[in-house]
Structure formats: structure tokens, C-alpha cells
Structure 1
Amino acid sequence: MIGRNPRKRPRKAASPPKPKVARISRRNGDSHRRPTAWLLNHARALFFSLGKLYRTPTASAMTVAVIGIALALPAGLYVVLTNIERVAGSWDRGVQITLYLKSGTSDPAMTDLANQLRNDPRIERVKTVTPEQGLSELAESAGFGDALDALPNNPLPPVVIVYPRLQGHQATQIRALRQNLATRPEVADAQLNLAWVERLYAIVTIAQRAVWVVGGMLALAVLLVVGNTIRLDILNRRQEIEVAKLIGATDAFIRRPFLYGGFWLGLLGGLLALILLALSLWLLAGPINRLAGLYGSDYVLTGLSLGATLRLLVLSIAFGLGGSWLAVGRHLRDIEPS
């Protein structure tokens, strides 16, 4: 029909634009999934390496035993050294400066001198011995009572015994204190019995150096044992590593189970070292307590403290990780797919 407008086709409704919020939420979801996937991968590698040790019990037990014994030896020496230092610390109380006062010094003058010395911060305690007390103690200890009774008068001077607050390894300060006390007008002579304590501390110092030397050598042995164990594991799984590299696995992904294997070897070796050390202390505790009782002492053998125990476990894990890292870094580069 002329003049009639043709029917217009209806327009398609435009699709609404996709909101950008959805894209943002997807990105947020990926960012949340990445840490979870990372943790899952590490957890799988952790338990996979533990299962691998479980599937080879004989070889794993031998490696853990070597690591445990190597760690138990320096730990045992450290315990022995700690107990020796405890004994030396108790013997520090035996260090004394004996002040022989001039003849004719009265008891009140000796008491005044003792009170002055008690106020000195370098002095822990002071003991006074009158001539009569000294003669009585000499008669009881030496058994010369009849001979001493025959003396016309008491030849012993008044004595003031000073116990320094300083310890035996501070020999220079103790000697300076003796020289200072010897200059007092009431003092005729001042004697210091410090030589045997200095010898004891010299022996302790040598023992400390020996512990560090032995510990360093055995730590190197642990690194070599763990490294050799991981090296053999890498060589046994060479074809598996080549296939993994062919399909795109990264070195970090391949390295992860071997590092966790070193972690488990170090941790189990450290726990075994603690068990061996506790067993050794249990076997030695009885004889040492009986020996201390014979000397009239209540000394008790002590083991590792909580801090030392944690340090031993951390060091054993560090040695395990260090040995595995060195082995993996050295041999993983040599394995390439052909």
C-alpha cells in the first residue's frame, strides 16, 4: 500500500554490561587460593618425605642412628661441662682471704674491723676467730691438746676470714681486694688461697674448647651423612626427576621433598640424641649420687635445660636441612632430560 510505512523490526535489547565487581571478586578468590595451594603443596611434600622414610625403615634407621649418636656426643660433653661449672661455682665459696691481725689487737678492735668489712660490696661475709678459738680448733683438729696446754701463752694472733663476693674466675679482682685489705693498719699479713681455683677454671676452659672442637667436627659429620643420604635418593629417582622436568616441573618443586627429607632426618636424629643422653644420665645418676654422699654432699647430676634442649633440636634440623640443600643444589643441576 502506497504511503503506508513498512513495519519496523523490533530492536534487540542491549545486554547489560558485565559488572567489574565479578572480575575483582575472581581475582580476590585467586589471591586467597594461592596461599592455600602453597600450603597444601608443602604439606604433601612434608608427609611424602616422611612416608618415603617409612618405606625404607632399615636405611632410614641407620641414618637416624648415626645422626643421633653424632649429636649425643657433644651434647653429653656439654652436660658434663655444665655440671663441672656448677661444682666450680659451689667451690667459689671456698675462696677466702685470711687476715692475720697484729699481736695485741683487742677483740673490740677486731669486731670493728669485721663490721667495716661487711659493708664492703666486694665482700660476701666475714668470720672472726679469736686467739682462744683458734687454739681450741687447732687442738681438736691436730690432736696436740696436751702439747698446746704446755705452752706458757697463746701464740696465735686474731684472725679475720673474708669471703669475697667475686667468683674464682675473677682472680685479678680478688687479688686487688687482698692487696687493699693488706694495707689496713690492723693487718699484719693477708693470705689468699686461690691457686687451686685458678687451676680448676683453667681445666674448665680447656674442656670448653674441646667441646667446641668435637661439636664442630661432629656437626660436619652430620652434614656429610645427610648429604650422602639425599644424594643417593636423588640418584635413585633420576628418571623420575627427568620426567618431571620434561612436563615443566620447576627446580623448587623437585627440590622440596628432598629438603623435607633432610628436615625429618635432622629432627629424628635430634630426638634420638635426647633419648640417648637421658638414658646415659639415668645410668650415671646413681653412682654419682653415692659418690657425692661419701663426701657429704647432696650434689645431683643435672641434664639439659629446656632452652638447651630446644637449641639441640633446632641445630639438628638445621644440619639436616643444610646437608640436603647442599646435596640437592649440587646434583639437581646435573640431571637434565635428554
Structure 2
Amino acid sequence: MKGAAAAPRREGASASRTRLRDHYRAWRDHHSLSAADSLRRVLDSPASSLLTWLAIGIALALPVALGVALENARVVSGSWDSPARISLFLAPAVDDGTAASLHARLAARGDVAEASLVSREAALAEFAELSGFDDVLANLDDNPLPHLVLVTPATGVAPDALQAELAALDTVDQAVLDMAWVQRLNSLMDLGRRLVWALAGVLVFGVVLILGNTIRLAIESRREEIVIVKLVGGSNAFVRRPFLYTGLWYGVGGGAIAALLVLCALWYLDEPVSRLAQLYQSDFHLVGIGLIGSLQLVLLGGGLGLAGAWLAVSRHLGAIEPR
């Protein structure tokens, strides 16, 4: 009797289970190779790459430079922000006693923080000192300047409402809100900020289009390579990766160019601005973007590069398939 039959032997290949560490190592190595190869391809054509970097850099530098200009204007106007003050020019017929009585009543009001009286004689003397026309003013028969009462509204009081109320007094010829021009300036600056944001949005969209078109040309130049990779089983993510790094390098280079342009513009303007400030007895200096701002601009360029590359690859890569 024959012995027990031997167990049948398996034939053919056996599938091995790939460890997670091997997946990660392959993914990491392909990222490294894709980044290095993409950078090499970008540097291999320096003329076209430089033109792309300059186009991106100028588009990013323009809104940043306008934003820096608005920030410096805000710093300058910040030194002008003082409590609103209302100048009450009294009627020419008002005498010294009536002016002093009005000043006392205004100083006692609860909605007035401070009130000071400038007599017409003091106003004429100050004008003569500042204008240098002492001899001419000395020959005047009458003092043409009126009495002036300077009123500072109390905290929480609307200057416009108080101005309208005081302008209705019989002894007041004209009431001028001294801070009205600062309010107009602030409104203009707010409008400027909105325009800068709108311009920045348009230019950022233009940067994405520039990068998308550049990546599209890169995809077309490597069409046969993409077909071969897909024939051997390469996934869309595998094919997409080098082009994403290409967009990243273009964006980072454009952001660096933008930061360099802004810094050069600030360096060029710093000396004349400082001289102008000294003429007005000010120690103002231009406020720049600094190291952090420069790094943020480079990161912004890199992010836009990735966004433009992703849009271009997502649109054109699917149309390239092996036949």
C-alpha cells in the first residue's frame, strides 16, 4: 500500500506584501527626484525662466509696493491724529466782553473738554510774526481779524453735531472743524486700500494664468514621455508631481524677484524721503516689508505656482492617454 500522498506543491509566483515604510520611502524618493529634476529643467533654460520670473515678480511687486506706500501714508497721518478741534470765528462786531462771556459759557458746558480764547489783538500779533509783514500791519487803521474761540469736544461727543450747534450761535460767524481734512484723508486711504486689494486680486489671477500657460507648454513638450509613463502603469499623481514642482520653482523665483524689486524701490526712495522729512523737523523713515514680509511674498509666489500648475495639469493631463 502506498504511503500517504504528498501535499501538492504550489506553482507560480507568490505576491509579497509591501510594507508601509517601503511605500513612504518610494513616495519620498520620487518627490526628491521630481523636485531636483524640475529645478534642473527650469535652470537649463535660463532666458525663458528669467522672463517668467520677471513677469511674476512685477505682477506681485506692484500691489505690494502700493500697499507699502499706503502703510507709510498711514504712519505719517497717524502723527496728525489729535482730538478734533472746532475753531469758532466770532462776528466782527463782537467786543472783548462778549467774547470773554461766550468763552466762559462754552468752557462750562459738559460736552466741551476745553475752550480757549484767542483775542483779535493776539491773532494779529501772531500773524505779523509768522508773515513778516510787521510794518504793513502796523499801518492798518483797524484790526481785520475777529476773536477766535478754540473748542475741543469732550470724549464721546460727535464733533460734527457740536460744530453744527455752535455754528448756529448769534455771535459766531463761522465754525470750522479742524479735523475734517484728516477725515477726508482717512476716507481716501480706505478707498486706496480697496483699490489695492482689487488690483492685487486681478494681478494674482494673472499670475495664475501665466504659470498655467507655462506648465501647459511644459506638458506639451513632454507629451511622449507622459504617454510612455502611463503605458508602464504610471498613475496621474506620479505624472503630475514633476509639473507641480516646476510651478513651485517658478512661483518661488517670481516671489523672490518681487521681494527684491520692492526692497530696491524702498532703498532708492529712502534717502530723498528722509531729507524731505528733515525739512519738516520729522524723523520719519520709510517702513518696508522686512524679512518676514519678504519670506511671505516668496511663500505666496510658491503657493500661486502650485495653484497654477495644478489647474494646468488637471486640465491637460487627462487628454494625454496611450492609444
TM-score, structure 2 length as denominator? 0.75
| 1:31 aligned residue | 20
Quick check: 1:289–1:300 contact (8 Å CA) kept in 2?
yes
Range moving further from structure 2, 39-48 or 238-247: 39-48
Report the CA distance between 1:310 and its aligned residue: 4.5
Describe the superposition over 1:274-301 as per-residue Cα deviations: whole angstroms up to 9, x where unpaired.
0011111111112222223333333212
| 2:116 aligned residue | 128
Q: Structure 1 residues 164 and 141 mapped into 2: Cα distance closer, same or farther (>3 Å)?
A: farther
For the residue of structure 2 that corresponds to 1:296, the secondary structure is coil
| Alignment partners' CA distance in 1, 2:161 and 2:34 | 63
| Alignment partners' CA distance in 1, 2:231 and 2:202 | 41
| 1:219 aligned residue | 204
| 1:121 aligned residue | none
For the residue of structure 2 that corresponds to 1:336, the secondary structure is coil
| Alignment partners' CA distance in 2, 1:99 and 1:90 | 24
Q: Percent of counterpart pairs with the same letter?
A: 39
Matched, 1:264 2:277: no
What is the one-letter code of the residue matched to 2:71? T
For the residue of structure 2 that corresponds to 1:162, the secondary structure is strand
Report the CA distance between 1:326 and its aligned residue: 1.3
Matched, 1:298 2:283: yes
Quick check: 1:98–1:160 contact (8 Å CA) kept in 2?
yes
For the residue of structure 1 that corresponds to 2:19, the secondary structure is helix
Describe the superposition over 1:95-150 as per-residue Cα deviations: whole angstroms up to 9, x where unpaired.
532256982537994896499854xxxxxxx5734536545424423545785698
| Alignment partners' CA distance in 1, 2:230 and 2:140 | 102
| 1:23 aligned residue | none
| 1:105 aligned residue | 100
Quick check: 2:86–2:178 contact (8 Å CA) kept in 1?
yes
Describe the superposition over 1:222-272 as per-residue Cα deviations: whole angstroms up to 9, x where unpaired.
112211111111111111111110111100111011011111111111011
Quick check: 1:107–1:130 contact (8 Å CA) kept in 2?
no
| Alignment partners' CA distance in 2, 1:164 and 1:228 | 60
Report the CA distance between 1:337 and its aligned residue: 1.0
Where structure 1 has 5 or more consecutive residues not aligned to the other structure, the ranges are 1-25, 119-125, 167-171
Q: For this pair of structures, how many residues does the alignment match? A: 300
For the residue of structure 2 that corresponds to 1:160, the secondary structure is strand
User: Equivalences for 1:1-338 in 2 at 5 Å?
Assistant: 30-93=19-82, 95-99=84-88, 103=98, 105=100, 109=104, 113=108, 117-118=112-113, 126=114, 128-131=116-119, 133-134=122-123, 136-142=125-131, 143-144=133-134, 157=147, 159-162=149-152, 173-179=158-164, 190-305=175-290, 308-338=293-323
What is the one-letter code of the residue matched to 2:270? A
| Alignment partners' CA distance in 2, 1:46 and 1:106 | 82
What is the one-letter code of the residue matched to 1:43? S
Where structure 2 has 5 or more consecutive residues not aligned to the other structure, the ranges are 1-15, 91-96
Report the CA distance between 1:163 and its aligned residue: 7.5
Structure (1 or 2) with the larger CA radius of gyration: 1
Q: Structure 1 residues 108 and 205 mapped into 2: Cα distance closer, same or farther (>3 Å)?
A: closer
Quick check: 2:111–2:153 contact (8 Å CA) kept in 1?
no
Report the CA distance between 1:315 and its aligned residue: 2.5
Quick check: 1:96–1:192 contact (8 Å CA) kept in 2?
yes
